[in-house]
Amino acid sequence: MKKRFTLKTLLDFAAAHRLHGYDGDCAKLHGHNWKVEVMVTGEQLDDVGMVIDFKEIKRHAKAVVAELDHTYLNDHPAFQNQNPTAENIAAYLFERLAERIDTPQRQVSAITVWENDRNCVTFSVE
Ligand SMILES: Nc1nc2c(c(=O)[nH]1)N=C([C@H](O)[C@H](O)COP(=O)(O)OP(=O)(O)OP(=O)(O)O)CN2
Ligand SMILES: [Zn+2]
């Protein structure tokens, strides 16, 4: 039986967006207090007994999320050819965080983006 540890940490940011082509109010400029759950999975622990220090995940996640915080997401380079939906934001954050966090021992395994208390999207790769 293989041991696997999945760490989850939560951060947030505030940002505005509008969804081009959307048939409804979300096509208009509006904002959310987005919540981002970062999940990191590993099978090995270091000498201290951690897959990775939560502080290290947070340091990387905060650096990436800071680029989006208090911005108009549609102006961001990542959302010039695609809407800043929760789906596309989750995929973007996954890619950016994997670049910073992944090693052979641990990988970003999923990113969940909450638009509000009711609706969220989880992005992961097979
Ligand atoms: N699959 C997705 N659906 C929707 C997204 C999205 O990113 N992915 N985004 C939106 C809008 O951004 C919108 O702002 C959603 O907010 P809201 O209307 O408040 O959401 P609710 O459905 O919870 O609100 P109700 O008032 O209950 O309709 C829309 N869809
Ligand atoms: Zn919205």
Q: What is the pLDDT of residues 49-99, one digit of tens each?
A: 999 999 999 999 999 999 999 999 999 999 999 999 999 999 999 999 999
Distance CA 71, CA 93 (A): 15
Interface predicted TM-score (ipTM): 0.92
Nearest CA owner, ligand 1 atom 15: 26
Report the pLDDT averaged over residues 19-37: 98
| Bridge pairing between strands 5-17 and 71-72 | parallel
Q: What average pLDDT does range 97-106 have in this prediction?
A: 98
pLDDT of residue 16: 98
Give yes or no for a contact between 37 and 10, defined as CB atoms under 8 angstroms apart: yes
Catalytic hit among 20, 43, 67, 70: 70
CA 76, CA 80: separation in Å to the nearest integer? 7
Confidence of residue 35 (pLDDT cuts 50, 70, 90): very high
Report how many domains make up the chain: 1
- What is the rounded CA–CA span in Å between residue 39 and residue 12? 14
Which of 26, 68, 74, 117 should be mutated for ligand 1, with most atoms under 8 A from CB? 26
Please state, as a whole number, how many other Cβ atoms lie within 10 Å of the Cβ of residue 94: 21
Q: Which domain holds residue 24?
A: 5-123
Task: Determine whether the shortest distance from the Cβ of 112 to ligand 1 is under 6 A.
Answer: no
Amino acid at 107: Q
Q: What is the CATH number of the domain that holds 19?
A: 3.30.479.10
